[in-house]
Chains A and B, each alone.
Chain A
């Protein structure tokens, strides 16, 4: 079956603009995760969804970041008033159920460049 897909694959935006990043998890996966990976760095956990609910939003870097998930499927990560420090690859992953013990399947990521 299809893996995790993300769109767009690349996004260049001007500082101050809003962007929306989309993630389509593996069908049937109830858990979905967002990460940020700056150049040459590890993965920074942002938020996870259990179904459509995000129990813990403390990983989001600032209130300019928000995420939602509908229909236990697609998720969007929105960054408002983008800043240059937001430039990174944003990775989405999904797993069958939520647990930090479950294998996560990653999408190809969205490379965001803020100019």
Chain B
């Protein structure tokens, strides 16, 4: 069945450093979504990528969808304490259920 792997599981960075989390699927995806979950909170939708090779930016966040539509990444430039949380990718193919990655937990060291 479809699997979505996310790495790393944890990441500690100094405030101001960059951060990247990677998402890899065992099958080709029709789309991929990214969510952020603050500690103690619920997932909040960040963005969706649909096209092969697509790149989208939201302020300091850059999202990429691979050419083969099997992987994706989220890059945060110059992290801030407000970026703390767990970042999940969620992929689905045209007919299957959505599968969430296990998430990357980001800790910011002041």
Contact = CB atoms under 8 A, between A and B. Distances in A.
Interface of A: 35, 41-45, 56, 59, 91, 93, 100-101, 103-109
Nearest to B99: A45
Contacts, number: 45
Contact of B103 (A42, A44, A108): A42
The 9 closest A-B pairs by CB, nearest first: A100-B92, A42-B102, A43-B100, A106-B42, A42-B100, A103-B45, A100-B98, A106-B43, A101-B31
Contacts of A59: 97
Given A91-B43, A106-B42, A106-B44, A101 B50 contact: yes
Interface residues on B, range: 20 to 34
Nearest to A105: B45
Contacts of A103: 33, 45, 48
